[in-house]
Amino acid sequence: MAEEIACGDPASLKRYDRQLPILGEEGQRRLAQSKVAIVGAGGLGSVVSYYLAAAGVGTLRIIDSDTVAEDNLNRQILYDTPAIGLPKAILAAHRLRALNPCVHVEPITERVTRENAHRLLQGVDLIIDCLDNWPTRLILDDYAHQTGTPLLHAAVESYYGQLLLVIPGRTPSLKTIAPRQPPPKRKIPVLGPAVATIAALQASLAIQYLTGQAVEPGTLHLIDAWNMETTKIKLQPY
C-alpha cells in the first residue's frame, strides 16, 4: 500500500527542497495559493502542467475538449498509446494528481468560447495559453482585458516558438502580434523537443510571475530551438 502523502505547509515539504533555495519559503507559499488556468492540454500544455504541478502551484484548471490522437504522441508527454481516443483533460488530471497529490486539479472538457469564457476562467490568477489556434487565443485575450487577468502566451511551429506575458493595463494585448487574418487550418509541423523547450520556458516564466520575481511583461521572446538562438522584442506600450 502506498504511503499516505501529508500536505501541510508547502515550505516544509521535502518534495520542494531543491527549489526552496531559489523561490524561498514565501515564494513556495505563494505558489501553493495560486490558481492557474491552462488552456490546451496538448504539447505545450502537457509540459507546462507537469512542471507547474511538480513545482506546487495550488490549483491547476486544465481546459481541453479534445481526445488523444496517435499523431499527438511525438510531443504530448502526458499521454501514451493506450490513451488514444480518451479525453485529454481527464487523463491529464489523473497524471498530475499522481505526480503531486498536494495540488488541486480541475479538468474541464469544454472548448473556450466567448459565451463560456467567464464561467471557465473566473477566479484564476494567471491564464496560460497553450493553444494551437488564434481565434481562441483572442478570446482569452479579450477575457484577460475585461477582467484584468494576466495572460501568458506561447506558440510553436516546426522548431520555432514564441512567448509573451500580457498584463492588462501595462502591456500591449495579444492582438499586437496576432495575424491579420486567421491562418488556414492545416496540420502544423512540430518537433517534440522544440515544444518541450518552449513549454519549459513558459512554465518557468509562470513560476517567476506567480512568486513575484522579476519578469519582462510585454516582451516577445522568439526562440529557435534548432539553432539555440533567442531574440527579445520589446513591444510598444499603449
**What value does the mean pLDDT take over residues 96-115?**
97
Q: Residue 140 CB: number of other CB atoms within 10 A? A: 24
Residue 5 · residue 15 · CB < 8 Å: no
Residue 44 · residue 154 · CB < 8 Å: yes
Q: Residue 35 CB: number of other CB atoms within 10 A? A: 17
User: What is the C-alpha to C-alpha distance for residues 149 and 139, in angstroms, rounded to an integer?
Assistant: 13
pLDDT, tens digit (0-9, with 9 covering 90-100), for 118-163: 999 999 999 999 999 999 999 999 999 999 999 999 999 999 999 9
pTM of the predicted model as reported, rounded to 2 decimal places: 0.95
Q: Which CATH superfamily is domain 10-234 in?
A: NAD(P)-binding Rossmann-like Domain (3.40.50.720)
What is the predicted pLDDT for the residue at 2?
46
pLDDT, tens digit (0-9, with 9 covering 90-100), for 168-207: 999 999 999 998 877 777 788 999 999 999 999 999 999 9
166 DSSP β-pair partners? 151
